[in-house]
Amino acid sequence: AQTVTQSQPEMSVQEAETVTLSCTYDTSESDYYLFWYKQPPSRQMILVIRQEAYKQQNATENRFSVNFQKAAKSFSLKISDSQLGDAAMYFCAYRSKETSGSRLTFGEGTQLTVNP
Amino acid sequence: GAVVSQHPSRVICKSGTSVKIECRSLDFQATTMFWYRQFPKKSLMLMATSNEGSKATYEQGVEKDKFLINHASLTLSTLTVTSAHPEDSSFYICSAYRVNRLNEQFFGPGTRLTVL
């Protein structure tokens, strides 16, 4: 079974600064998806960024980028120019490609605080 | 983006009563939906996978008779908490799986259940 680990329960960053959230995972599969989701105080889950394992290029979405290290099974999220609206719980997640409609496996989450 | 709705957003009920939560995919058909439970400041815990036209698949430790899932159409799955007790109080989130090139999961806004 796959596991996802987020070792930082809480992180804080100053507005306009950069912060990196860590995520490691364990799998025996060669192709899969990795995701970062944001859950603000409203508790609506929002997809931040997605990475397909077979793609070597790191995914980027505006101020959000990932550092995907497949051999090390590491998938960190970098938030540049942090904004107050970035404050939320962030979840790293894994999904297999091998089974259709397969579930997401979530990490424990990292609570990000953005200080003005 | 695709939209998934949940109803109700909040519900308060007396101990011993049953509560039904609806999850709808508004602009796509979802053969697979997922039900999660989330405690405060914790990750999402998968309860069951709901498949249209067939029985739900429950995760280990989740009581089938307690949490009844019905996926009667391609756009609607329901979770019924039977004979609710205070320990069932939680935040329940559904997600719907959209089969396309990206095979995305879209999350509902969640339902807060409080059992008195």
**SS3 for B86?**
helix
Q: B103 and chain A: CB distance < 8 Å anywhere?
A: yes
Q: Which residue of B has its CA nearest to A109?
A: B43
pLDDT in tens, A53-69: 999 899 999 999 999 99
Residue A86 three-state SS: helix
pLDDT tens per residue across span B44-58: 999 999 988 888 999
The pair of structure tokens assigned to B18 is: 């049953």
Q: How far apart are the first and last CA of chain B?
A: 37
Low pLDDT (below 70) residues in chain B: 1
Query: Could you list the pLDDT tens digit for every one of the 116 residues in chain A?
Result: 789 999 999 999 999 999 999 999 999 998 899 999 999 999 999 999 999 999 989 999 999 999 999 999 999 999 999 999 999 999 999 998 876 567 899 999 999 999 99
The pLDDT of residue B1 is 65
The residue with tokens 């894994």 is A94
Output the pLDDT for position B53.
84
Q: Tally the residues of chain A.
A: 116
Quick one: pLDDT at residue B101? 75
Q: Could you tell me how many CB contacts below 8 A there are between chain A and chain B?
A: 44
Locate A99 and state its tokens: 């089974």
